[in-house]
Structure 1
């Protein structure tokens, strides 16, 4: 018999109560709840040195003349709860490697050249409708070990009082290295689909991606 956590049982109970009010079978009501975005390890390269510029444009550091090298991309999406309600004023903590696959971190062993013009870290908020948007570069792949190369990905932490804090990693579609990644490979097909952004458009040197995030409710 499958066992559920107390939090999941409470979630099912709430959905069933809503189903009763609406006159729906609880099995169908459960299907109305969205799957929360899968969590993932923070990794070893979360920024350790504070910086003044952590805005939504990672391709340019305030006060620098030059911009970051690489393929420019725009990431946008909406943060909602498991019932589809927008989560406004949620805090998004975002960090990633530059186009060379190098993190702005003193303990990154990658011998690739660090792009000094890449911001590497952003802290932004969703608007009242749960929408967010930031500009960055396509992160480069990098060796995690002698036999494992990590695919391009972006790290995110999402916080909002009343919701479970989420640490996850966003991946990109049509990346060959996705197939052999040891972390992404631990996820189910459904979970993987929730962690891979969707390409929406291309305009000049800019590629637009959509990545929606679902937070679970905080329960005692």
Structure 2
């Protein structure tokens, strides 16, 4: 069960391992100062209310067990197109569990739902625009016909004064990326901007970096 002490450990220890893996400057660097490409929200945006939406998706408050699959940490920075950090940006994050199943009543995937996986997080960037969360590597799942979606994470990012962004983050070295109907609609540059970067490992945790660029809302 989650406790105040455990939340402090998550906040401090994950910050330490991510920062250590990134080095002194990686968080401050943005891969490209073009707005992060948008992508469809998809059919599985969460519809059931849930109390626990913190930055550790591998365990649900009140549950004893941990989510199955490969646990990972994703950290990065939200900036504007000029590279300035965007503080207090709201990140709405949802994904399939390690079995490729969403915690959504319309998901017809016959794969077993991991009852210990939170599936949804709502967090904010800090005063440097940085964010981090712990989750599992999402499983691939059938979309339609022979189309199988590669592992990916959905995000909505919102901050007053900026164009709201809905996008999907992908993982490198996934064979299914080459055949994904959504990802392959993007240019090479756009695909690169939507791809997380594996930057290290802390114990059994694989650490990824993913930076987001928001465009200003024009008056």
Q: TM-score, normalised by structure 1?
A: 0.85
Residue equivalent to 2:54: 55
- Deviating 4+ runs (over 4 angstroms): none
Distance 1:205 1:109 in 2: 31
1:117, distance to aligned residue in structure 2 (A): 0.3
- 1:88-99 map, 5 Å: 88-99=87-98
- Which residue is 2:27 aligned to? none
Instruction: Give the structure 1 partner of residue 142 of structure 2.
Output: 143
Question: Please, which runs of 5 or more residues in structure 2 have no aligned partner?
Answer: 1-31
In the other structure, the counterpart of 1:16 is none
Alpha-carbon distance in structure 2 between the residues aligned to 1:204 and 1:181: 31
Give the alignment's Cα RMSD to 1 decimal: 0.8
Question: 1:11 maps to which residue?
Answer: none
Cα distance in 2 for partners of 1:199, 1:101 equals: 21
| 1:38 equivalent in alignment to 2:37 | yes
Q: CA deviation at 1:205?
A: 1.5
- Aligned pairs for 1:109-124 (under 5 A) are 109-124=108-123
Matches within 5 A, 1:1-220: 34-220=33-219
**SS in structure 1 opposite 2:116?**
coil
Unmatched runs of 5 consecutive residues or more in structure 1: 1-32
d(CA) in 1 for partners of 2:161 and 2:59? 34
Structure 1 CA distance, aligned partners of 2:38 and 2:108?
Answer: 25
Q: Cα distance, 1:64 vs. partner?
A: 0.5
Q: CA offset at residue 142 of structure 1?
A: 0.1
